Structure 1
Amino acid sequence: MGRIMQLQKSFVQSRNSSIELYRIIATIAVLFVHFNGWFVGMPEKFDYDNPTLFRIGQMIIEASTCICVNMFLIITGYFGLRLKLISVLKLCMILMLINVPFYVVGILLGDGFSCRTLIGKFLVISNAGYFIQGYLMLTFFSPVLNSFVEKYGCEVLPWTLLFIGIELWFGTVRGIEYFGFNKGYSIIHFVIMYMVARCIALYKDTLLVLPKKYWFYGYVIATSIICFMYFCGMECAFAYSNPIVILSSICTFIPFLYKDWHNGIINWIAGGTLAVYIIQVTDPAYSILVKIDNYLLNNNTYFLYLLLCGLVMFVTFWLCVIYQKICEWMILPFISRLPIFIRECKFK
């Protein structure tokens, strides 16, 4: 077990802290999207009859952070996934250590007990949200996708652009449901973003020729266009599959490629961000956060609400990170005792 801990520590410290910092920012963007929009409710179209400061601020924040899921997928695709049995097992155990204890806490707080629901909490993959399920399926598809990229190299770019256009036309413009595009909430979009990120890796040297500030300008312009789309009543404005949202996520990622540096603290924090995404949408944490968010909004001025909400997000972020670290500490003895063929089982 000591050797495994040393290897894990070495791996964490060796990761590029630029990308790990980007991972942390992506996690914070998820918090903003949920607290700003989902938890307090956000109209599908801008309310022209009631253009309050809150609604305008909500629009700007949402346009700035709706790239959050694409940010995670770009990180994944840039480095490339490797299908490893031990990684899948570790993910399942972390999910179980979140779902089951949180369900028990919900019961203690007054929620009803259901044996069927409890069993479902142990079936972590089928019980997880779309992101975990999509990510897991992307992991299963990764050997095929990696082989495709390795064989065709830079020729994958036209195909990637073609599939972005197909997703836009059938999934967003036409709204055809049979293909399962679902505005980016699907494995199809995960695959597309994975290929976008592989293209970034292939064309890295060309992309880094541009000054870093141009990517910042691109992000500002893309955010402005997203705001304009929402203001004009376009329901796809904040969709992950919106090409402008995809472009915006690319513009935020590339500046973090200009420098390779290493910081153990940054990498340690980034290693616990998965729990932030899962816990905030898991009851009873989800219900509690929704009540807090709405209470703060309804009982304070907008600027004070933003300040207090930011404080709640800060505390939520750290509690979730610490919880994941505790989970990893708990499962480490089990992982260390697995047969070596399971720990090393992987597909290229």
Structure 2
Amino acid sequence: MSNLKSTRSSNIEFLRLIIMFYIVLYHFCSYIKSSIDPNNRFVLLGYTLFHIGVPVFILISGYFTIKLSTKKIVTYYLYCTLWYIFCYIFAIIINHNTINLKECLLQLFPFNNTQGRWFVTYYFWLMLLSPLLNQVSQLTLKKHIFLVLLSLTMIIYSGLVWNSDIINGGKSIIYFISLYMLGNLIKRINIGIIKTQIWIKLYIIIILFISILNFILPLYLLKPLRGLTFAYQSPILILSSILFFIIFLKLKINNPIINYLSMSSFAIYLLHENKYISPCYKSLVKNAYANFDGPMVFLILIFLSILFCVVAIIVDKTIRNPLQSILEPPLLKYLTQLNSMITNNITHLKNKYKL
């Protein structure tokens, strides 16, 4: 068994903030690559290196496991729904639009996998499946390793060779399940016997390998390279995500400010990955790219990403969190009573008809 503690100290909370920053920066680079300049090598490098945010997030969930409960589902639902409502209201005010009833009601259903909500939807399904997936840790270590290796082999083969819709470029519940089990496996094996410096060196080697190829290869060869280094199901991206996660696991950080800020880390994702907000950041990125060039563009993107993260955390702390603290208790109470009533009725029917 690993000798690393399974409690979430500040190192993991700091990691959650870092990966959300990575996700924002990746989407900035992605927009430039797809809509402005597909040949800027600094942007292409960021587009590749900062794509590890989602895999690392799932590894964290698998390592600590999801403890499913009614409260957790209600919390997740309100967290997402309130943010979607905020973003919709913001778009109405900024664009001077009238309220569309269909669009308004759609914000109350955050797990419908539309409007770019694939991560929110699949993570919800992962939560529902977590009681079953957590049983994998009860297997022998050899069986657990075999199951993880088999699932990873299948998503790599199906995603890169077969190009299966089942994997869908990593945007699928199959991918989430595989990485969740992998995160749980990391918790079981004794990674503590390997020094932190070795994990860091391995990660740096991968970063240097990708960076060197990014700048020396002709542009027409970079696209097939990204199939091995960029795609969610690529072996190099999965390996770099594992190394990045383990590096933070080995760190020793205890900071209450980090812990406080990280409680709003998911707000960063919900704010920027939203069809009502994305035109705003795309406009900022486009203007930045028009006024700067070379490495300076990348520095501006980093600054804008940090600014976006700060705004998301402030809004989450001052608006979403107080509102949720008001709405969550009565909703949770109602669902608890409803669950109790259904359970009692089922028990009554079983007793009545001797089922």
Contact 1:107 1:113 (C-alpha < 8 Å) held by counterparts: yes
Residue 291 to residue 340, structure 1, CA distance change in 2 (3 Å): closer
Percent identity over paired residues: 22
Contact 1:222 1:245 (C-alpha < 8 Å) held by counterparts: no
C-alpha distance in structure 2 between counterparts of 1:273 and 1:150, whole Å: 31
1:77 corresponding residue in structure 2: 62
Is 1:330 aligned to 2:323, yes or no? yes
C-alpha distance in structure 2 between counterparts of 1:279 and 1:259, whole Å: 29
C-alpha distance in structure 2 between counterparts of 1:247 and 1:283, whole Å: 31
The alignment partner of 2:230 has SS state of coil
Provide, for residues 10-29 of structure 1, a one-character-per-residue CA deviation record: whole Å limited to 9, x for no partner. Answer: xxxx7310111111111111
Residue 61 to residue 340, structure 1, CA distance change in 2 (3 Å): same
Residue 225 to residue 84, structure 1, CA distance change in 2 (3 Å): farther
Residue 29 to residue 209, structure 1, CA distance change in 2 (3 Å): same
Count of aligned pairs between the two proteins: 318
C-alpha distance in structure 2 between counterparts of 1:188 and 1:171, whole Å: 11
Unaligned runs of 5+ in 2: 1-6, 215-220, 340-355
2:100 to 111, 114, 124: 114
C-alpha distance in structure 1 between counterparts of 2:252 and 2:306, whole Å: 27
Contact 1:93 1:331 (C-alpha < 8 Å) held by counterparts: yes
C-alpha distance in structure 1 between counterparts of 2:266 and 2:298, whole Å: 24
Residue 233 to residue 259, structure 1, CA distance change in 2 (3 Å): closer
The alignment partner of 1:156 has SS state of helix
Contact 1:77 1:197 (C-alpha < 8 Å) held by counterparts: yes
1:27 corresponding residue in structure 2: 20
Q: Could you tell me which amino acid in structure 2 is paired with residue 339 of structure 1?
A: K
2:161 corresponding residue in structure 1: 173
Q: CA deviation at 1:154?
A: 4.4
2:89 to 104, 113, 117: 104
C-alpha distance in structure 1 between counterparts of 2:143 and 2:23, whole Å: 33
Q: How does 1:249-260 map to 2 (within 5 A)?
A: 249-260=241-252
Residue 283 to residue 182, structure 1, CA distance change in 2 (3 Å): closer
Normalised TM-score (structure 2): 0.82
Residue 150 to residue 308, structure 1, CA distance change in 2 (3 Å): same
C-alpha distance in structure 1 between counterparts of 2:299 and 2:156, whole Å: 36
Bigger Cα displacement from structure 2, 81-90 vs 265-274: 81-90
Q: Could you tell me which amino acid in structure 1 is paired with residue 105 of structure 2?
A: I
2:224 to 225, 228, 233: 233
Contact 1:20 1:270 (C-alpha < 8 Å) held by counterparts: yes
2:336 to 331, 338, 342: 342
C-alpha distance in structure 2 between counterparts of 1:101 and 1:271, whole Å: 18
C-alpha distance in structure 2 between counterparts of 1:62 and 1:92, whole Å: 30
Q: How does 1:154-303 map to 2 (within 5 A)?
A: 154-177=142-165, 180-203=166-189, 205=190, 207-226=191-210, 228=213, 231=222, 233-234=224-225, 236=227, 237-303=229-295
Normalised TM-score (structure 1): 0.84
C-alpha distance in structure 1 between counterparts of 2:269 and 2:293, whole Å: 28
Contact 2:29 2:44 (C-alpha < 8 Å) held by counterparts: no
Q: CA deviation at 1:88?
A: 1.2
Bigger radius of gyration among the two? 2
Q: CA deviation at 1:268?
A: 0.8
Provide, for residues 162-189 of structure 1, a one-character-per-residue CA deviation record: whole Å limited to 9, x for no partner. Answer: 1111111122112132xx1012111111
The alignment partner of 1:66 has SS state of helix
Q: Could you tell me which amino acid in structure 1 is paired with residue 177 of structure 2?
A: V
